[in-house]
Amino acid sequence: MRARCFALLIASIVLAPAARAAFLDLASSDLGGNAVDFSSPGPGQLAIDPDFTTATPMTLAIVLEPEDGAAIAWNALVDNLTGEVWSAFEIEVVGASLDVGTATANAGRVAWIAFRSDAAEVRFDPAEAAGLDLGAPFGSGEDWGVGGMEAGFLLRMRPVPVPEPGTLGAIGIGLVVLAARRSGNVRARNA
């Protein structure tokens, strides 16, 4: 009797339809030349693993199933494969609201997280060369959340590279020239 019950239990698990959950619509996403792995461990959960090979933003179109409900918990293993160091990492949701979780730098340190209802900026100090973990992909920390959406939302992620010294120098020279020009215009008007 016990063996038969056990066999029925195994058959019901194997034959039961898998619970559907959120998925990534690659056709509607813009990876910006980067790569992403995506899984949904169950209804209301997302695991996103973006690999940034460029500093180009990535926009992911997430489609929800009815079983997901009105809120999604998500985490991400973000890899920096750009060869640049990042001063920050930006996250934005479109068509939903964002709940901030934890962020852990892989090589450096998270200095702070600036947050608004639809976006967050993770700042590094020192700059980050390896990437970061968002939420609790390994069970430690707090997952991020997305809520207030109906059938789906867009998730935008963008690394912010540290400006090169040459770029900073060019900006400085431009500001000096602009100040000199304004000063010359003020003198010309006063003459």
pLDDT of residue 95: 95
pLDDT score for 4: 47
- Segment 140-163, tens digit of pLDDT: 999 999 999 888 999 999 999 998
Cα dist. 142→7, 25, 78, 133, 158 in Å? 38, 26, 16, 11, 21
Q: What are the extents of the domains in the chain?
A: 15-162
Of the chain, the end-to-end C-alpha distance in Å amounts to 107
Residues 19-76 have pLDDT tens digits of 557 899 999 999 999 999 999 988 999 999 999 999 999 999 999 988 888 889 999 9
Answer whether residue 8 shows pLDDT above 50: no
- What's the confidence (pLDDT) of residue 91? 98
The model carries a pTM of 0.77
Count the neighbouring beta carbons within 10 Å of the beta carbon of residue 92. Answer: 17
Under the banding of pLDDT at 50, 70 and 90, the label for residue 12 is very low
Nearest to 131 by CA among 50, 191, 56: 50
